[in-house]
């Protein structure tokens, strides 16, 4: 049996990879579902299960709808009532982490 590992919440990881301002592409190999408002993602390549927290789920769902980083940051700012610069910074940081984990593609 292959191991399933949950990422509880989303700890920010250091990364120097730039996140594109273009639209985000979710890794098409992934299987995911929204369950009780949270996104659960299975990566078939390594059989890891990722359970996203509330804000990460929000970002994920809008990325799936084809929104760009800036659009997602604006929506995040309105939804969670945070400063636009903070929302953009958090969105980019999250996307860098998703890139590192292979959940989104360049």
Partner 1 sequence: MDASRADDRSFRRCVGWRPKGFGVYFGEQLNVSIGNVPLCLHIPEEELREKARLRYAQFLEDVPGGLPVFTNRSEPNSEHASGASANGQESAYTWQNAALRLSDAQVEFDGVRHEYGLDSLIRILLSVLLTRQRGFLLHAATVVNKGRAYIFAGRSGTGKSTVASLSPKDSVLTDEISLLKFVDDAWHAFGTPFWGEFRAKGANVHVPVAGVYFLSQASEDRVESLSARESLRAMLPNVLFFSREHEMTESLLSLASEFLGSLPCYRLFFRKDCRFWKVIAP
Residue numbers of the site for partner 1 (CB under 8 A)? 1-4, 6, 28-33, 35-36, 38, 40, 42, 44-45, 47, 49, 51
Whole-number minimum distance, CB 103 to partner 1, in Å?
Answer: 13
Q: Is 13 or 35 the residue whose CB approaches partner 1 more closely?
A: 35
Whole-number minimum distance, CB 97 to partner 1, in Å?
Answer: 20
Query: For residue 58, with 0-12 CB atoms within 10 Å meaning exposed, 13-18 middle and 19 or more buried, which class applies?
Result: buried
Whole-number minimum distance, CB 27 to partner 1, in Å?
Answer: 9
Query: For residue 70, with 0-12 CB atoms within 10 Å meaning exposed, 13-18 middle and 19 or more buried, which class applies?
Result: middle
d(CA 69, CA 66): 10
């Amino acid at each position: 049996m292959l191991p399933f590992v949950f990422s509880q919440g989303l700890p920010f990881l250091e990364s120097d990879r730039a996140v594109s301002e273009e639209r985000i592409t979710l890794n098409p190999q992934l299987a995911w579902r929204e369950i009780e408002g949270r996104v659960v993602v299975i990566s078939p390549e390594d059989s890891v299960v990722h359970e996203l927290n509330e804000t990460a789920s929000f970002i994920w769902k809008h990325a799936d709808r084809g929104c760009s980083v800036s659009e997602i940051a604006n929506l995040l700012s309105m939804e969670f009532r945070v400063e636009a610069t903070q929302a953009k910074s958090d969105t980019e940081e999250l996307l860098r982490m998703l890139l590192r984990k292979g959940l989104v593609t360049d």
